[in-house]
Amino acid sequence: MADAVPTEPAPKVSLSDDEWRTRLTPAEYAVLRQAGTERPFVGEYTDTETEGVYECRACGAELFRSTEKFHSHCGWPSFFDPASSDAVILRSDTSLGMRRVEVVCASCHSHLGHVFEGEGYPTPTDQRYCINSISLRLVPKD
C-alpha cells in the first residue's frame, strides 16, 4: 500500500467551517470535518448489499462502488478498492498512539475512515477501506 501523499492537491470543494456546519448535520460534521468515528455496527451501510455508487456525503464525489464492497464484520462498511485511483487521498495518521492510514475525499478533503492491509480478507487487493457510513451517500443503481 502506498504511504500518504507527500503533497496533497488543493480540494476542489472548499468551504468555510460555517458553510460546512450549515451543509452538514452535527454528526456528519463531527466525522467528515473533524475526523471523528461513528460507533461500530450502527451505520446505515454496514451490511447493505444494494447495488450502486457511494458518494461523499459532504460534496457528492464518487468514492466507492458496491462491486468493491465486502462483508468484513468489523462494524463499518468495507471496500477493497476506491471507485478510481484519484477518488481518495491517503494520509499518515499517528493519532491514538498507532500508525494508520487515513482516507479522505480527494474532492473536499473530508474524513472518510482508514485503510488497512494484510488482514487476510479474500479480496483482490488485500486491503480494507474501513469507511464511516455517515461519510457516504448510496446512489442505488437504476
Residue among 56, 59, 105, 130 flagged as catalytic = 130
pLDDT value at residue 2:
52
pLDDT value at residue 6:
55
**How do the pLDDT tens digits run along the chain, 142 residues long?**
555 545 778 888 889 999 999 999 999 999 999 999 999 999 999 999 999 999 999 999 999 999 999 999 999 999 999 998 899 999 988 887 888 899 999 999 999 999 999 999 999 999 999 999 999 999 998 7
Report the alpha-carbon distance of residue 121 to residue 79 in Å, rounded.
11
Which amino acid belongs to residue 115?
A: V
pLDDT value at residue 5:
47
Number of H helices, E strands in the chain: 2, 9
Domain annotation for the chain: domains and CATH numbers: 17-140 (2.170.150.20)
Residue 125 Cα distances to 2, 70, 81, 120, 135, angstroms: 12, 12, 7, 10, 22
pLDDT value at residue 142:
77
130 is catalytic: yes
Dihedral class, residue 35 (left if φ above 0, else alpha if ψ from -120 to 50, else beta): left
DSSP 8-state secondary structure symbol assigned to residue 44: T
Supply 91's cell numbers. Answer: 494520509
Classify burial at 129, counting beta carbons within 10 Å of its beta carbon; exposed 0-12, middle 13-18, buried 19 or more: buried
Strands (E), the chain: 52-56, 62-65, 69-70, 78-79, 88-93, 100-105, 111-117, 127-131, 136-140
- At which residue does the C-alpha cell 468514492 appear? 63
